[in-house]
Structure 1
Amino acid sequence: MEKLKSIRESLPAPPIVTFPPMYTPPAMPDNPDKTPILYIFPKSKKLLTSWDVESLKYQAFLVFSHYRHTTRQCHEQDKSPSGNETGRLPFLVNSAGQALAGRDILSELREKVGDLDARLSDIQRADVLAFTAMIETKLHIALIYYLYYDEKNFNLITLSAHKDLYPWPLNLILAKKLRWDTKSWLLQQRPVVSKEAILADAKATLAALSTQLGGQLYFFGAK
């Protein structure tokens, strides 16, 4: 036994290899029990915002509204608390602990920071609805098409971004599942998918938005 012990002590210690953690929890806010939390689909390493369009939309809306909150990345895109009727990201847990999604988030903002459209005239409100409809249909359809439906863009851009979110091979499996789900949704919106028609609609929408914005910082008013 002594001989084995001496041999073991004479051998060099095996190298210790350390790896970065798979996930590092973000810093907690000053008052975590009261600070609202917006749960979003994760961002890739090269992005500052969420990769998911809906998550990005509400990130921008909360920041633009000066609504005090923090964000949390959620890797389960089709899961959310039972209080969220949509069952999808993003969702907001307000200071009362309620899980809100969609229009409920907008209601929360109106209650806490006021109605951002309050200064708009009736004509401007109608224009907002019209431009919003164009963006959420024609422009959004074009974005979905080029990110998920188009094979080349999916492999070069979308799949590459999702590789940073999960370990292999889960990243490939989930990215392709998301592509399948998104393509199914697109076909429900447009049974006949025409690249030329989608591109023409997107160009027309961008031209209309550019004309409306002109040289101003905002589409309507000074804020």
Structure 2
Amino acid sequence: MPNVLLTESIAVELGGAEPWPEDVRLFQPFDAEQILLPEVATVRACQAFLRMCGLPFTIDQRANAEQMSPSGGLPFIKCGQFVIAELDPIVAFCNTKGHTLSSHLDMSQRADMRAYMSLVMNVLYSAELYLMWSHEWTYGAVTYPRYSFATPFPLNKILCWKKRRSVLTKLESINWSDKKLDDVYDEVDSCCQALAERLGHQLYFFGDKKTELDALVYGHISAIMITPLADYRLRILYKNIRHLLNTFGA
């Protein structure tokens, strides 16, 4: 039977009737040589979510993981006959199987959680894309050698150029292309302050139980702590929510 590619929220319901298999694989680029900051964040957020749900999986690092993904997004999992790419569809797929981190929240709290998750993606993920693909020094010193790691010349230059053009177009569509680096850090600072206010003195964002928001923020914090960059101001800006790294056990 051929694999079924799942990228839409409606389609993920198809997998709900089957139990979670023991041989689920999570695909990502190579950690040491290849993966970039935005993908590190989403990969680690997905890993954290699955572990928080107690769902077994193994990590499969592939040089062509992005090309293997049905949506081009990372990470993606192979679960039985299903292939699901990116964090939101993976979370939705797990939800159909009864695995969720937010069942204890009421409707208002769930709406708040989704709003904060949108804030993280709109600001932190966009800032990571900006640093990797728009900031010239980072692009030349970090992004280009890592993204082109597994591709021979001249295809490496072509693919990197196409990817950069795609990301810059995305940044332009959300009005980030004309920002200066200080503007980006101001956006990140405001986002982190909002997250810190939501967290307060709680263990997690919604009390003493983890949610999908905790997994997502964990992914971004842990990513910036392990990714080499020319400017480490993001690590400083994350200081008020950094203690989450020590509480997840993921």
TM-score normalised by length of structure 2: 0.61
Contact 2:22/2:56, CA 8 A, preserved across alignment: no
RMSD: 3.1
Pair 1:221–1:122, CA change in 2 (3 A): same
User: Cα deviation per residue 1:88-128 (whole Å; 9 max; x = unaligned)?
Assistant: 4322111x221122444223322445221111133321221
Aligned to 1:79, what secondary structure does the other structure show? Answer: helix
Establish whether residue 194 from structure 1 lines up as the match of residue 179 from structure 2: yes
1:146 maps to what in 2? 131
Identity in percent: 23
Which ranges of structure 2 fall in alignment gaps of 5 or more residues?
1-20, 210-250
2 CA distance for matches of 1:113 and 1:107? 10
2 CA distance for matches of 1:189 and 1:172? 27
Contact 1:41/1:74, CA 8 A, preserved across alignment: yes
1:182 maps to what in 2? 167
Establish whether residue 68 from structure 1 lines up as the match of residue 56 from structure 2: yes
2 CA distance for matches of 1:76 and 1:199? 32
Pairwise CA distance, 1:132? 0.8
2 CA distance for matches of 1:178 and 1:44? 20
Worse-matched range after superposition: 173-182 or 63-72: 173-182
2:231 maps to what in 1? none
Pair 1:191–1:221, CA change in 2 (3 A): closer
Contact 2:26/2:58, CA 8 A, preserved across alignment: yes
Amino acid at match of 1:75: A
2:198 maps to what in 1? 212
Establish whether residue 98 from structure 1 lines up as the match of residue 82 from structure 2: yes
1 CA distance for matches of 2:127 and 2:47? 21
Worse-matched range after superposition: 166-175 or 114-123: 166-175
Larger Rg: 1
Which ranges of structure 1 fall in alignment gaps of 5 or more residues?
1-32
Pair 1:104–1:153, CA change in 2 (3 A): closer
Pair 1:106–1:191, CA change in 2 (3 A): closer
Contact 2:22/2:57, CA 8 A, preserved across alignment: no
Aligned to 2:23, what secondary structure does the other structure show? Answer: coil
Contact 2:132/2:143, CA 8 A, preserved across alignment: yes
1 CA distance for matches of 2:99 and 2:39? 28
| Pairs within 5 Å for 1:5-20 | none
2 CA distance for matches of 1:114 and 1:176? 40
Establish whether residue 132 from structure 1 lines up as the match of residue 117 from structure 2: yes
| Pairs within 5 Å for 1:17-56 | 34-45=22-33, 51-56=39-44
Amino acid at match of 1:97: Q
1 CA distance for matches of 2:139 and 2:89? 32
More helix by percentage: 2
Contact 2:102/2:110, CA 8 A, preserved across alignment: yes
The alignment of Structure 1 onto Structure 2 pairs a total of residues equal to 185
* RCO comparison, higher one (Cα < 8 Å, 6+): 2
Aligned to 1:208, what secondary structure does the other structure show? Answer: helix
User: Cα deviation per residue 1:64-90 (whole Å; 9 max; x = unaligned)?
Assistant: 322111121232254336xx4x24432
1:6 maps to what in 2? none
Amino acid at match of 2:43: S
